Amino acid sequence: MNGFLLYLVLNTLVVLAIAPLFVSLIKKVKARTQGRSGPSVFQTYYNLAKLLKKEVIYSPNSSRIMRVAPIVNMAALLVAALFVPLVFVPEPLGGIGNIILFLYLLALAKFFMALAGLDAGSSFGGMGSSREMSISAIIEPTTIIVFAALVFVFKSLNIFDMFATSAAAGTLATPVLILLGISLFIILIVETSRLPVDNPETHLELTMIHEGMILEQSGRNLALMELSAAVKLTLLMAILINLIVPFGLMTTFTLAGLLIAALLFVVKGSILAGIIGLFESSTAKMRFFRLPSLFAMAFFFSTLIIIIEVFA
Amino acid sequence: MIDPAFIQGLIKILFVVVVITAAYIISTRNLLSLVSVYALQSLSLVLIALALYSIEGAPVLLAIAAITFASKVLIIPYFIATIQEKVRIRRDIEFHFLSPTTSLIISMGLMLVIYIALSKILAGTHARESFLFFGAVLGISLMLMGMMVTFSRKRAITKVLGYLTMENGVLLFGLFVTELPFIIEFLIIIDLVIVVLLTTILTVGIDSTLEDYHKRLHRFHLWEEEERP
User: How high is the mean pLDDT of chain A?
Assistant: 86
pTM exceeds 0.80, yes or no: yes
Interface mutation target, options A283, A286, A304, chain B, most CBs of B under 10 Å? A304
- Taking residue A245's Cβ as centre, other Cβ atoms within 10 Å add up to 19
Out of A148-152, A214-218, B81-85, B87-91, least confident range: B87-91
Distance CA A66, CA A78 (A): 19
Secondary structure (H, E, C), chain A: CHHHHHHHHHHHHHHHHHHHHHHHHHHHHHHHHCCCCCCCCCHHHHHHHHHHHCCCCCCCCCCHHHHHHHHHHHHHHHHHHHCCCCCECCCCCCCCCEHHHHHHHHHHHHHHHHHHHHHCCCHHHHHHHHHHHHHHHHHHHHHHHHHHHHHHHHCCCEHHHHHHHHHHHCCCCCHHHHHHHHHHHHHHHHHCCCCCCCCCCCCCCCCCCHHHHCCCCCHHHHHHHHHHHHHHHHHHHHHHHHHHCCCCCECCCCHHHHHHHHHHHHHHHHHHHHHHHHHHHHCCCCCHHHHHHHHHHHHHHHHHHHHHHHHC
pLDDT band of residue B221 (cuts 50, 70, 90) is low
A304 interfaces chain B, CB cutoff of 8 Å: yes
Domain of A58? 2-311
With CB atoms and an 8 Å threshold, state whether B12 touches A178: no
Q: Is the ipTM of this complex over 0.85?
A: no
What integer pLDDT is reported at residue B118 of this predicted model?
83
Residue B209 pLDDT exceeds 60:
no
Contacts of A283 (CB under 8 A, 6+ apart): A195, A196
Residue B229 pLDDT exceeds 50:
no
Which chain A residues are Cβ-neighbours of B98 within 8 angstroms? none
What integer pLDDT is reported at residue B220 of this predicted model?
58
Contacts with B, A 176-195, CB within 8 Å:
178-179, 182
Beta-bridge partners for B30: B91
- Taking residue B217's Cβ as centre, other Cβ atoms within 10 Å add up to 21
- Domain positions in chain B: 4-219
What integer pLDDT is reported at residue A214 of this predicted model?
85
What integer pLDDT is reported at residue B87 of this predicted model?
66
What's the mean pLDDT in B34-41? 89
With CB atoms and an 8 Å threshold, state whether A297 touches B27: yes
Distance CA A131, CA B135 (A): 41
Task: Return left, alpha or beta for A45; rule: phi > 0 is left, psi -120 to 50 is alpha, else beta.
Answer: alpha
Angle (CA) B141-B143-B144 rounded to 5° is: 65
Distance CA B63, CA B50 (A): 10
Per mean pLDDT, which of A166-175, B37-46, B184-193 is the most reliable?
B37-46
Residue B105 pLDDT exceeds 50:
yes
Q: What residues in chain A have per-residue pLDDT under 70? A: 1, 170-173, 205, 312
What integer pLDDT is reported at residue B90 of this predicted model?
64
Q: Between A9 and B184, whose confidence is greater? A: A9
A312 interfaces chain B, CB cutoff of 8 Å: yes
pLDDT in tens, A38-74: 888 899 999 999 999 999 988 888 888 888 999 999 9
pLDDT band of residue B227 (cuts 50, 70, 90) is very low
User: How high is the mean pLDDT of chain B?
Assistant: 77
Count structural domains, chain A: 1
How far does the CA of residue A252 sit from the closest CA of chain B (Å)?
Answer: 30
What integer pLDDT is reported at residue A246 of this predicted model?
82
Residue B20 pLDDT exceeds 80:
yes
Angle (CA) A116-A120-A126 rounded to 5° is: 70
What integer pLDDT is reported at residue A234 of this predicted model?
93
pLDDT in tens, A179-219: 888 899 999 998 888 888 887 777 776 778 888 888 888 88
B15 interfaces chain A, CB cutoff of 8 Å: yes
Picking from B13, B105, B108, the nearest residue to A178 by CB comes out as: B13
How far does the CA of residue B71 sit from the closest CA of chain A (Å)?
Answer: 28
What's the mean pLDDT in B49-77? 84
What integer pLDDT is reported at residue A71 of this predicted model?
93
Contacts of B193 (CB under 8 A, 6+ apart): B71, B75, B76
pLDDT in tens, B140-170: 889 898 888 888 877 767 777 888 888 888 8
For the CA atoms of B21, B24, B29, B33, the dihedral, rounded to the nearest 10 degrees, stands at -30
B112 interfaces chain A, CB cutoff of 8 Å: yes
With CB atoms and an 8 Å threshold, state whether A297 touches B134: no
What integer pLDDT is reported at residue A52 of this predicted model?
92
How far does the CA of residue A142 sit from the closest CA of chain B (Å)?
Answer: 12
Residue B200 pLDDT exceeds 70:
no
Residue B228 pLDDT exceeds 50:
no
